[in-house]
Amino acid sequence: MKHGSLQGLIYLSLFACIVIIAQALLIIFKGEAFCVDEGCKIVEALTLISPFYFNLLGCVYFFAVFCTAIITKCRSGIEPLLRILLVSGLAADGVLLGYQIFVAHTFCSYCLLVFLLIVILNILMGFRQLALGLAIIVVQLFVFSLLRFESAEDRLRGLTLDNGTYAVRRCSDPVKQLYLIFSEDCPHCYKVIEALEGCTQCEFHFNPIKKIGVDLLPGLSPNEKYLPGINAAALKILGIDTVPVLIAKNHDGLTFVEGERNIINYIQNTCFGGMPLVDENLSDLFKTEDGACSINENCR
C-alpha cells in the first residue's frame, strides 16, 4: 500500500471523527442535529435509538480506522485488518442506504456525507477494495428490493370485516348483520355455528381467524379471496384474546358479544324472534368468557 494513500486515509478518518463529534455536540447543546434538508428528521423518526448514539457509533468506527491506519503505517501485517474494517463500514452503511431508499423513501444528506467518506476511505485502499465493498452494497440493495417493509396491520389498513368473511348465510329481509369471528380449533365455536342453523332474521358472516377447511361450513359459497388476518387484527385492536366473538352492526354503532352462551342467547333472542337480552349500545362489550377459547392456546 502506498505511503501517500495511507497518510490520506489517516487524515480523512480524523476529519470524519471531527465532523461526527461536532454533530453529536449539536445534538447535546441544541437538541437536534444539523442537516440541510428534512430527510434527516424523517430518517431519525424511523430509528429505534437516538441520533446521538448513532453518531457515537460512527465516531467510534472512524476513530478505530484512524488508530488502525496509524498502526499499519508503523507496523507491517496490520493492513488486512484495516481492509476488513473499511469494507465492514461500507457494508453497514449500505444497510442504512437501503433503508433510506426502500423504507424511508427519502435521503438524509448527513448520512450520505458519511457514506461518501467511507467510500473515499475504501478508494484510498485501492480499487479492488472499493469493488468488493460496492459488490456487497449491490447485493444488499437487491435483497432490500425483494422485501416488503410493512407490518400485518399496515397491509390490512383500509380493509373491513367483509374482506375477512369466508362465507355468508343470508335470509330474506334480514333485520341485522352479524359477524362471527371464530376458530376451527374451538369447540365452543362449533356450538355457536350449530345454533345458527336454519333461516333466521339475521345475515351471518363467518370470519375465521385462520384458514379453514371447505367442509366446515357445507352449503355455503366460500369467498376464496378472504383474508383471515383481518379478523385476528380486529380482535387485537379490541383487546380480545378469545373466540367466539360476535359483532353486530346496529344503526348507532356496533355490539360485541363474547363467549358461547352469550352469543347463543343473543342470536336466539335477536334473530329467531323475541326481544334481545342485551343492550345494543356502541360501548357494550361482553367480558364474560364462559364458553370461549383462547386464540393463543389449544382449546378442548
Give the whole-angstrom CA distance, residue 216 versus residue 206: 11
Q: How far apart are CA 8 and CA 28, in angstroms?
A: 30
How far is CA 32 from each of CA 23, 44, 177, rounded to the nearest angstrom? 9, 10, 53
Task: Say whether both 178 and 139 belong to one domain.
Answer: no
Can you read off the three cell numbers belonging to residue 290?
364462559
Q: Which helix (H) or strand (E) holds 167?
A: strand 167-169
168 and 229 fall within a common domain: yes
Residue closest to 226 by CA, chosen among 182, 160, 166: 166
> Is the domain of 59 the same as that of 109?
yes
In the chain, the number of structural domains is 2
DSSP three-state, residue 53: helix
Regarding whether 223 and 110 lie in a shared domain, the answer is no
* Residues 222-255: tens digit of each pLDDT: 998 898 988 988 898 888 989 999 999 888 788 8
> Is there a single domain that holds both residue 88 and residue 116?
yes
Q: What is the pLDDT of residues 8-52, one digit of tens each?
A: 999 999 999 999 999 999 889 887 777 767 777 777 777 778 888
Taking only the tens place, the pLDDT of each residue in 173-184 is 888 899 999 999
Angle CA(46)–CA(47)–CA(51) in degrees, nearest 5? 120
